[in-house]
A and B are shown apart, each in its own frame.
Chain A
Amino acid sequence: MSRKEKGSTGNKPGTGSAASTGGATEIAKKSALDAFMSSNGAISVLVVLLGFICGTILVIAVGRNPANMYTALLQTLTGWDVNRGVWNARYIGEWFTAAMPLILCGLSMGFAARTGLFNIGAEGQYIAGITAAQFVALYGPQVLGLHWALALLAAAIAGAFWGGIVGWLKARYAVSEVVATIMFNYVAYFLSRFLTQLIPAANTYRTPNFPQTARLKNLFLEKLTNGSRLNTGLFVVIICVFIYWFIIERTRLGFELRATGLNKEAARCSGIKVTRSIVISMAVAGMFAGLAGAVVSLGSFSYGRVLGGLDNYGFNGIAVALVGNSTAIGTALSGLLFGMLASAQPLMQSRQIPKEITWIISGLVVVFISLRAGFKMLMDWRAKRIAREKGGERDE
């Protein structure tokens, strides 16, 4: 503060009476670094670039040509095979297909995060969605258009229920949502296995085939992408991204959720029903994850699965939301990024690039993002201390 006024020490009483504003106005002056750090989008882009740079160095270090990695990624993104000069839209379709559940699970994580909750349970809510969708697919009315819509609805409700219970436990009994969601993941997993195996003619890994009316198959999209698995789920994702944005940014509910997430006590003090916010937030988060389950189940499989392991979309959603800063568009973009890395794996392998490099890159991106979170904590701490020193916060 006031470096330029340094010379005026030793004022006699009565002379130094010019400045009357609070000493803490200096807090408002941010350094350029602060401004950059507060632009979350810019940081995410930087972090992703950093991840790729490290990945490239790694590829060179193991003696492979990094150009092969980038041509594989280019082919995933555009369908253009540089080496052979062939274009095939199927790659684009597969990329989107891989990104769809990631985006939905990212939305799940992000929505809870905006309300100050850590939803580690997207995996369980995703499984709840799969299970519900499979049951409706096998037993629902086989009416074209209605059948898969009902299955999606059931998955959304199941996911919302599974998330909502945790929200209710947190709101009512102050059970940590982190612990509860982790436990609920396993409950969902084994419950799903148990219930699905009850279906007649189901064996230890699958049920009979779904009726065609239940599937999210979309001939138009398939044709457009040269026979990829891209399906109606794409529209579900687009609608969900929009719903997410709309609720958070435009509605009264979103205002309440954001206020609760940023300062629960102040929200409560202002008359916002914080417990209600928590339940709603977890339920909506669960809904997104449940839909992810339905999109995978009805879009990419022709039969119901007796799960033999976790698909991990729910957990990857955490990374997606982190990189996407829990905004609607950010999460969609970061879901596309992670989807690209996942669907580029076979192409990379065919070009002598170890497929693990994609996991290393996504892992590095998450690490760098977390570093930013740490850096932000540091900035917050600093701002607090400045406020204290400058007489903003509390008694000395």
Chain B
Amino acid sequence: MDGYAIEMIEVTKIFPGVVANDKVTLRVKDKEIHALLGENGAGKSTLMSVLFGLYDPDGGTILVRGKEAKIRDPNEATAHGIGMVHQHFKLVHNYTVTENIILGMEPRNKSGSVDLSGAEARVAELSDRYGLSVNPKDKIESITVGMQQRVEILKILYRNADILIFDEPTAVLTPQEIDELMDILKRLKAEGKTIILITHKLKEIKEVAERCTVLRRGRYIGTVDVASTSEEEMAEMMVGRAVKFKIDKAPAKPGKVVLKIEGLTVSGSKGQDAVRGLDLEVREGEIVGVAGVDGNGQGELIQAITGLTQIKSGRILLEGRDLAKCSIKERIEAGMGHVPEDRHKHGLVLDFRLDENLVLKTYYKAPFSNAQGLLDFGAMAEKGRDLIGQYDIRAGEGPATKARNMSGGNQQKAIIAREIDLSPRLLVVAQPTRGLDVGAIEYIHKRIVAERDKGRAVLLISFELDEVMNLCDRIAAISKGEIVGIVEAADADERRIGAMMAGHRGTAVNGSADTHAKAADSNPVAGGKA
């Protein structure tokens, strides 16, 4: 079988209690872009970790260019010419690009000191050859995430890798950066590199990959030729059934303003202003999405609205009442529901029973507590059964199931059930479908739209632009803690939102009264906003 750069034959990786890879076979041809497609948890990352020497496989063989290879650690993978661009970059922020690239294998000159200029020349040469346009002397902290990713690519090219693994490379990028990355991938291929692209985004596969191997729940489903397979067919292989891409929803009928945020400024973890003078409105009967690249103040915005963090200045009006100084409990009672981004940290008490989790915000009220402060567990269990039925939560032992023992999708359903059951005026939803399978995603989207149709105001924050564009009625792009533009979802296009996410206010001006033709970065405190 020559012509294959990598052959992983019937690779099995068992973790205690779960088979992460069950006799998975992956054959990657030399000089091709091969996509590895699967949902979260399908075993893609495990398989690549086996290839990269991070895990020992429990069975199967790996052949690199036709020769059997035992890859015990990443150094051996590097020796085989395999390099990996991780999803989370491993860079030293106050080092320059070149210093990061040579870290661990610093070239020496005759006097024994590090030959930095020689390394810089080589980095510049590599950057030119693959069209990466990286300046070797830039500090990492001063360049964009997209550029940082290119530094990661250069790092493995510098180590002479010719088989490049990309682990969900587009998750942290803006649409423009994604386009540029796609070009880079094509360029790398043209220069004779073999690429394995781990992803669950079909569009990207269609654009760059030649062949695609699909995994589903740890098992090999098949390898297809991308050109002759439709996105729908690949989605079906990935999920195991037909998938609808569009969310069915009627046009929004927005009413009066429910949430009004004025001049909100919130400090971030490093003391900087993570949210800077932000204004935003959400009306009843509409879903407003905040689109942005991770780390542009979304987390702080949500925490400020829901009361998890103190604000520096500004007002948060819920139906005219300023909640900025209110406790979390007061906000909940004022009609705010919150589906938190991190469901394990903020959403659930994992060692509580499901029914206890379902009443986590109402336990102190009748019928769950009486006036003397005694609990009624019967009423809780009844509520549990009621919501389990209504929201199709699958839990092995019914209301008594420990939340820890439920799947991610069902945990999320439980949170959605609890929050919607509060009948909130405003539902703040952060990353509601992160890490869930397609079935659960569909269900949760449907529920959110149903809440909108009931006349509730919904504020959605998601890093998945597709989710925002699909689900929302209006889209507000956030960049560096400011809303840089708001567009109606109907006339939104990915490119324009992408430009706004990158901080270019000017590109979004037409069609929206809320945007301002103000150059990004010019005036950090938005004092002069209309």
Q: What's the interface size class on B, roughly? A: 35 or more
Complex Cα distance, B153 from A168, in Å, reads 51
**Which one of B46, B241, B329, B347 lies within 8 Å of A271 (CB-CB)?**
B329
Question: Is there contact, CB below 8 Å, between A16 and B41?
Answer: no
**Which one of B87, B346, B349, B407 lies within 8 Å of A390 (CB-CB)?**
B407
Choose, from B178-186, B219-227, B447-455, the stretch at the interface. B219-227
**Which one of A266, A267, A390, A393 lies within 8 Å of B18 (CB-CB)?**
A390
Question: Is there contact, CB below 8 Å, between B349 and A396?
Answer: no
Question: Is there contact, CB below 8 Å, between B23 and A9?
Answer: yes
> Assuming the A-B contacts A9-B220, A13-B236, are A24 and B373 also in contact, with contact meaning beta carbons closer than 8 angstroms in the complex?
no
Q: Nearest Cβ in chain B — how far from A383, in angstroms?
A: 7
Cβ of A270: which chain B residues have Cβ within 8 Å of it? 328, 332, 360-361
> Assuming the A-B contacts A1-B18, A269-B328, are A22 and B440 also in contact, with contact meaning beta carbons closer than 8 angstroms in the complex?
yes
Q: Nearest Cβ in chain A — how far from B44, in angstroms?
A: 6
Complex Cα distance, B437 from A396, in Å, reads 12
Q: Nearest Cβ in chain A — how far from B35, in angstroms?
A: 14
> Assuming the A-B contacts A268-B328, A382-B17, are A392 and B435 also in contact, with contact meaning beta carbons closer than 8 angstroms in the complex?
yes
> Assuming the A-B contacts A252-B374, A266-B349, A396-B44, are A24 and B407 also in contact, with contact meaning beta carbons closer than 8 angstroms in the complex?
yes
Cβ of B308: which chain A residues have Cβ within 8 Å of it? 268-269
Choose, from B350-358, B487-495, B513-521, the stretch at the interface. B350-358
Cβ of A255: which chain B residues have Cβ within 8 Å of it? 356, 363, 375
> Assuming the A-B contacts A23-B217, A389-B41, A396-B168, are A266 and B345 also in contact, with contact meaning beta carbons closer than 8 angstroms in the complex?
yes
Question: Is there contact, CB below 8 Å, between B409 and A259?
Answer: no
Q: B344 near A: Cβ within 8 Å?
A: yes
Question: Is there contact, CB below 8 Å, between A2 and B219?
Answer: yes
**Which one of B344, B360, B375, B409 lies within 8 Å of A24 (CB-CB)?**
B409
Cβ of B234: which chain A residues have Cβ within 8 Å of it? 13
B-facing residues in A341-361 (Cβ within 8 Å): none
Complex Cα distance, B41 from A26, in Å, reads 12
> Assuming the A-B contacts A263-B350, A265-B346, are A24 and B408 also in contact, with contact meaning beta carbons closer than 8 angstroms in the complex?
yes
Question: Is there contact, CB below 8 Å, between A386 and B18?
Answer: yes
Complex Cα distance, B349 from A304, in Å, reads 46
Q: B3 near A: Cβ within 8 Å?
A: no
**Which one of A31, A259, A271 lies within 8 Å of B349 (CB-CB)?**
A259
Cβ of B15: which chain A residues have Cβ within 8 Å of it? 382, 385-386, 389
Complex Cα distance, B16 from A385, in Å, reads 9
Cβ of B401: which chain A residues have Cβ within 8 Å of it? 28
Nearest A residue to B411, CB-CB = A392
Cβ of B329: which chain A residues have Cβ within 8 Å of it? 271-273
Q: Nearest Cβ in chain A — how far from B93, in angstroms?
A: 22
Complex Cα distance, B242 from A266, in Å, reads 36
Provide the A1-38 mask, 1 if CB < 8 A to any CB of B, else 0. Answer: 11101101111111011111111111110110000000
Q: Nearest Cβ in chain A — how far from B242, in angstroms?
A: 7
Complex Cα distance, B216 from A20, in Å, reads 11
Nearest A residue to B229, CB-CB = A13
**Which one of A13, A28, A269, A385 lies within 8 Å of B340 (CB-CB)?**
A269
Question: Is there contact, CB below 8 Å, between B375 and A11?
Answer: no
Q: A204 near B: Cβ within 8 Å?
A: no
Q: Which of B18, B241, B395 has the most CB of A within 10 A?
A: B18
Question: Is there contact, CB below 8 Å, between B18 and A389?
Answer: yes
Provide the A256-289 mask, 1 if CB < 8 A to any CB of B, else 0. Answer: 0011001101111111110000000000000000
Question: Is there contact, CB below 8 Å, between A252 and B369?
Answer: yes
Complex Cα distance, B343 from A265, in Å, reads 10
> Assuming the A-B contacts A13-B233, A13-B237, A252-B373, are A271 and B346 also in contact, with contact meaning beta carbons closer than 8 angstroms in the complex?
no
Q: Nearest Cβ in chain A — how far from B73, in angstroms?
A: 20
Question: Is there contact, CB below 8 Å, between A1 and B405?
Answer: no
Cβ of B317: which chain A residues have Cβ within 8 Å of it? none
Complex Cα distance, B392 from A20, in Å, reads 14
Complex Cα distance, B215 from A2, in Å, reads 14
Cβ of A22: which chain B residues have Cβ within 8 Å of it? 394, 407-410, 436-437, 439-440
Complex Cα distance, B18 from A28, in Å, reads 12
Q: B396 near A: Cβ within 8 Å?
A: yes
Cβ of B218: which chain A residues have Cβ within 8 Å of it? 1-2, 23
Q: A251 near B: Cβ within 8 Å?
A: yes
Q: B43 near A: Cβ within 8 Å?
A: yes
Nearest A residue to B12, CB-CB = A6
Q: Nearest Cβ in chain A — how far from B277, in angstroms?
A: 26
Q: B462 near A: Cβ within 8 Å?
A: no
Complex Cα distance, B25 from A9, in Å, reads 10
Q: A387 near B: Cβ within 8 Å?
A: yes
Question: Is there contact, CB below 8 Å, between A25 and B394?
Answer: yes
Complex Cα distance, B328 from A319, in Å, reads 37
Complex Cα distance, B16 from A270, in Å, reads 34
Nearest A residue to B413, CB-CB = A22
Provide the A212-250 mask, 1 if CB < 8 A to any CB of B, else 0. Answer: 000000000000000000000000000000000000001
A-facing residues in B212-260 (Cβ within 8 Å): 216-222, 224, 229, 233-234, 236-237, 240-242
Q: B338 near A: Cβ within 8 Å?
A: yes
Question: Is there contact, CB below 8 Å, between B373 and A253?
Answer: yes
Q: Nearest Cβ in chain B — how far from A265, in angstroms?
A: 5
Cβ of B332: which chain A residues have Cβ within 8 Å of it? 270-271
> Assuming the A-B contacts A2-B217, A24-B41, are A382 and B16 also in contact, with contact meaning beta carbons closer than 8 angstroms in the complex?
yes
Complex Cα distance, B360 from A30, in Å, reads 26
Cβ of B361: which chain A residues have Cβ within 8 Å of it? 270-271
Provide the A357-396 mask, 1 if CB < 8 A to any CB of B, else 0. Answer: 0000000000000000000000000110111111111111
Complex Cα distance, B356 from A1, in Å, reads 29
Complex Cα distance, B333 from A115, in Å, reads 25
Provide the A81-109 mask, 1 if CB < 8 A to any CB of B, else 0. Answer: 00000000000000000000000000000
Question: Is there contact, CB below 8 Å, between A273 and B327?
Answer: yes
Nearest B residue to A38, CB-CB = B402
Cβ of A2: which chain B residues have Cβ within 8 Å of it? 19, 22, 217-219
Cβ of B44: which chain A residues have Cβ within 8 Å of it? 396
Cβ of A389: which chain B residues have Cβ within 8 Å of it? 15, 18, 20, 41, 43, 46
Complex Cα distance, B439 from A146, in Å, reads 68
Q: B30 near A: Cβ within 8 Å?
A: no
Q: Which of B23, B338, B364 has the most CB of A within 10 A?
A: B364
A-facing residues in B350-387 (Cβ within 8 Å): 350-352, 356, 360-361, 363-364, 369, 373-375
Complex Cα distance, B290 from A227, in Å, reads 77
Nearest A residue to B217, CB-CB = A23
Cβ of B350: which chain A residues have Cβ within 8 Å of it? 262-263
Q: B45 near A: Cβ within 8 Å?
A: yes
Question: Is there contact, CB below 8 Å, between A31 and B17?
Answer: yes
Cβ of B22: which chain A residues have Cβ within 8 Å of it? 1-3, 6, 9
Cβ of A253: which chain B residues have Cβ within 8 Å of it? 373
Provide the B323-335 mask, 1 if CB < 8 A to any CB of A, else 0. Answer: 0000111011100
Q: Nearest Cβ in chain A — how far from B243, in angstroms?
A: 10
Complex Cα distance, B410 from A252, in Å, reads 26
Cβ of A385: which chain B residues have Cβ within 8 Å of it? 15
Q: Nearest Cβ in chain B — how far from A260, in angstroms?
A: 9
Task: Report B's interface with A, CB cutoff 8 A.
Answer: 15-20, 22-23, 39-46, 87, 167-168, 171, 198, 216-222, 224, 229, 233-234, 236-237, 240-242, 306, 308, 327-329, 331-333, 338, 340, 344-352, 356, 360-361, 363-364, 369, 373-375, 394-396, 401, 404-411, 434-437, 439-440
Supply 20 further A-B pairs (C-beta < 8 A) apart from A16-B216, A391-B41: A16-B240, A20-B241, A22-B440, A28-B405, A262-B352, A266-B348, A267-B349, A271-B361, A273-B329, A386-B18, A389-B20, A389-B43, A390-B407, A390-B408, A392-B435, A395-B168, A396-B41, A396-B44, A396-B45, A396-B198
Closest 5 CB pairs of A and B: A391-B41, A24-B407, A392-B408, A271-B329, A17-B241
The 20 sampled A-B contact pairs (Cβ below 8 Å) are A9-B23, A10-B222, A13-B233, A16-B240, A19-B240, A22-B408, A22-B409, A23-B39, A25-B407, A27-B17, A28-B401, A251-B374, A269-B340, A271-B328, A386-B16, A386-B18, A391-B39, A392-B407, A393-B344, A393-B408
